[in-house]
Amino acid sequence: MNAARPLAGRRVLVTRPRAQAARFVALLEAYGAEVVAMPTIRLGPPDDWRPLDDALAALDAFRWLVFTSVNGVAAFRERLAGRAASGPRPGPAIAVIGPETARAVRELGLEAAVVPGEYRAEGLADALAGRVAPGDRVLLVRAAEARDVLPRALEARGARVTVVPAYRTALAREGAERLVALLEERRLDALTFTSSSTARGFAELLAPRDPRALVGHAVVAAIGPVTAATLAEVGLSATVVPSDYTIPALAAALAAHFQGAPAGGRG
């Protein structure tokens, strides 16, 4: 096997929403993989934009602005662009969940003051623990379906947290039949999941079939422990979980898993 292309001869499923998948696909292909891009979820607007718009109108009243995903930053940018003063300006200190979200913030001409070492809600809560004071107003821009770990942790410190949904996820049913066929025919060597939503969407697309019966032959890769835990809830065990919870780290971890292993005989 070519050491520079350890995924050569492997067919890898990417379940990430199509609009976000390009970078991950490119990284996997650089390792030699044949990528099957089949989103299990799609992103859409929240039920109501008013909470976010109202928060933007009062942005200077907040001490902290917190983003837990690139999608939240994108929605923030879209709604901010419709306002008269849409360019970068002094305002709340910014905290983000990880380096990819920090990069999205930087594209707005802003800089994140807090990026935790552990790229999940628990890590961000810990990173903010010594910086958020009682009475601080915190604006949390996130998915409608996100966990409440972060706002509860901040509120426990006395912060006044405003949570605004910037987007929501829905099941992408379009590829269900093809996905089942690929799994039944054992034509996928690895399945990748970049969020709990993609994991839940995958299980819902297979229902009422048992995911374990269809996936037993394939390597399951999760971007981090939260996603791995969600996979466990639907009966799947993640074999590959990188120590850094990022897209490049996930691609590298999957490549390392297959490094030196002979390609299988799937069709």
Order of strands across the sheet with 93-96? 41-44, 160-171, 137-143, 64-67, 93-96
> What is the predicted pLDDT for the residue at 261?
60
- Picking from 11, 10, 12, 19, the residue whose alpha carbon sits closest to that of residue 172 is 19
For residue 182, the SS3 value is: helix
Task: Say how far apart CA 221 and CA 257 lie, in whole Å.
Answer: 10
> What is the predicted pLDDT for the residue at 266?
45
User: CATH for 50-168?
Assistant: 3.40.50.10090
User: CATH for 11-40+172-258?
Assistant: 3.40.50.10090
> What is the predicted pLDDT for the residue at 262?
54
Domain ranges of the chain: 11-40+172-258, 50-168
Strands 11-14 and 41-44: unpaired
Same fold, 11-40+172-258 and 50-168: yes
| CB-based contact 95:74 (threshold 8 Å) | no
Instruction: Per-residue pLDDT tens, the chain, 267 aa: give them.
Output: 566 799 999 999 999 998 889 999 999 999 999 999 999 999 999 999 999 999 999 999 999 999 999 999 999 999 988 665 545 455 899 999 999 899 999 999 999 999 999 888 999 999 999 999 999 999 999 999 888 999 999 999 999 999 999 999 899 988 899 999 999 999 999 999 999 999 999 999 999 999 999 998 899 999 999 999 999 999 999 999 999 999 999 999 999 999 966 554 443
